Amino acid sequence: MISNLAAAELLGATLAQADFYPRLPQQRRLYEAARTAILLQQLSAGSKLPSTRNLASELGIARNTVIAAFEQLAAEGFVITSTGSGTYVSASLPSTSQPKRKLDGNAEVVPETPPNGFATLSKRGTQLTEFAAGTRYEIQPFAPGDADFSVFPFKLWQRLQNRVWREARPDLLDYGQAGGYLPLRRAIAEYLRVSRSVKVSIEQVMITAGTQQSLDLCALLLADVDDTTWVENPCYWGARRIFESCEVNLHPVAVDAEGIAPSEADLATNPRLIYVTPSHQYPTGVVMSLARRRMLLDLAQRKGAWILEDDYDSEFRYTGRPLAALQGLDTHGRVIYMGTFSKVLYPGIKVGYLVAPPALVEPFKAALYDLQRPGQLMLQAALADFIALGHFATHIRKIRQAYGAKRELLRKTLAAQLGQSAPISGEESGLHLVVEFPDHVDDEALARLAAESGIAVNALSHYYLEPPVRRGLLVGYAYVPAEKIVYYGKLLAHVIQAGLRR
């Protein structure tokens, strides 16, 4: 029976392999390493595994990472944990996980485990789970796209929610059949008219569970399987996942200094959907020019395409006034506008909104109710009060000022360390900036080096659907205490400098 030390060495050797699930977080990699060793009987039934503390020390990783991996193994029946005794390999493995053996001459051969470890997924499921994007964007210093929800007014929010619950309105316990809570839809319509120049009536506003659900609804209702969908290249990974799950044909269109830039070859196609982030292109940070906006609207009208405008972080513009939404220029009703409260309040609120053109209002409301059963009317009622009483506007002003200060401090710190070797762009708005690299630099390798230092940054090249045109790192500044910006900024700069010297 294998010893604790040998078990730690076995798992450590597996994790040291560069091609062993390189894009998965360490918790998942450890789980996969242990699971594979158990299935191949390298860790035999009844073997005692090292304690989480000892294994973490041997592997040089956080103990919480080991605990999480062990908990997943226990939940799936691969190991048994006994309080005061330790963790042991289960004597009876889950039947669906045991590899069937066959004889090849005199040797016993174990069939290969499926590449992603999921033996029963469809082809679509396999494709979607291989990317595993969400697990890589954990809350750490410089994770792009994450808001600093530690500054959220918790006590105020609790009072508003308590007031809603004290009213004990039975109608707020239902799903919500009219596209969401009416006072919240009214508040959103007023906010969008004033702050984003959106042409909107209350009837056009629908409350969703965030941008992902809004995109899913659009793809399901407006496109069929294999219909062409234009997406910006590079593209927001969440939108890409939604479109792939709906099995539309993704057609990447290059982004330049003015936003999405269709070539002659692109114009020869007939998109059914066009997904864009015109106010702050994700991930490059480019703002779509007025000329490009008008071109896109004319193109959509000529080709009968629907433009999906994702206005995900328009509240965070630090120089000049926020630009008006693309939807406000639309005279043909071809733009579906969507936004989210996850960036300005807190991610787990999972409340977004969609503004449908008048012709699509009724079918969208029907589908929202029939397919997605939205609910959460109590939460929506509290949010409506939060906006109506002026707390929302106050909160946005507060965090915009705080993020602007963090952005400037991070920009100065990186610029002082990196100089002209790695230019910085995209810092005028949003929640991240981009540190750009020469074409020969492996930005994915640099992102992994940063992760080893406890810094979560994302490689720009990872967002391309085709060979990348630009390389760099996305560096978020919202979810970092202001007093630690300089420390982590210098640490990241040292990682970048080391990578540029290679």
Cβ-count burial of 162 within 10 angstroms (0-12 exposed, 13-18 middle, 19+ buried)? exposed
How far, in Å, are 29, 475, 490 from residue 409 at the CA level? 35, 13, 11
Yes or no: say if 184 and 380 are a contact pair by the CB < 8 Å rule. yes
Evaluate whether the domain defined by 134-149+394-501 bears CATH number 3.90.1150.10. Answer: yes
Q: Do domains 134-149+394-501 and 153-389 have the same CATH topology?
A: no
Confidence at 379, pLDDT banded by 50, 70, 90: very high
pLDDT of residue 107: 41
Locate 282 and state its tokens.
């994700």
CB 65 within 8 A of CB 135: no
On the question of pLDDT at 97 being above 60, the answer is: no
Question: Rounded to the nearest 5°, which phi and psi values hold at 306?
Answer: -105, 130
pLDDT at 96 over 70: no
Model confidence at 322: pLDDT above 80: no
Q: At what angle do helices 485-501 and 391-418 cross, to 10 degrees?
A: 40
Query: What average pLDDT does the structure give for the chain?
Result: 86
Q: Per the structure block, which two tokens stand in for 264?
A: 């002659």
Highest mean pLDDT among 35-49, 124-138, 320-334, 385-399: 385-399
pLDDT at position 40: 86
Q: Which pLDDT does position 454 carry in this prediction?
A: 82
Name the nearest CA neighbour of 240 among 130, 352, 140.
Answer: 130
- pLDDT band for 101, please (50, 70, 90 cuts): very low
Question: How is domain 4-120 classified at the CATH fold level?
Answer: Arc Repressor Mutant, subunit A (1.10.10)
Round to the nearest angstrom and report the end-to-end CA distance of the chain: 44
Strands (E), 287-412: 306-310, 335-340, 352-355
DSSP SS3 for 309: strand
Distance of CA 193 to the CA centre of its chain: 28
Rounded CA-CA distance 152/399 in Å is 9
pLDDT of residue 427: 64
- Whether pLDDT at 193 is above 50: yes
pTM of the entire structure? 0.74
In the chain, the percentage of residues whose pLDDT exceeds 70 is 89
In whole angstroms, give the CA distance from residue 387 to residue 351. 13
Residue 501, judged by CB atoms within 10 A of its CB (0-12, 13-18, 19+), counts as: exposed
φ, ψ of residue 251 to 5 degrees: the values are -120, 105
Q: What is the pLDDT of residue 2?
A: 61
Task: Mention every residue, 6+ apart, whose C-beta is less than 8 A from residue 358.
Answer: 201, 203, 204, 333
**In the CATH hierarchy, which top-level class contains the domain 153-389?**
alpha beta
**What are the domain boundaries of the chain?**
4-120, 134-149+394-501, 153-389
The Cβ of residue 266 has, within 10 Å, a number of other Cβ atoms equal to 16
Q: How confident is the model at residue 93 (pLDDT cuts 50, 70, 90)?
A: low
Contact 336, 354 (CB under 8 A): yes
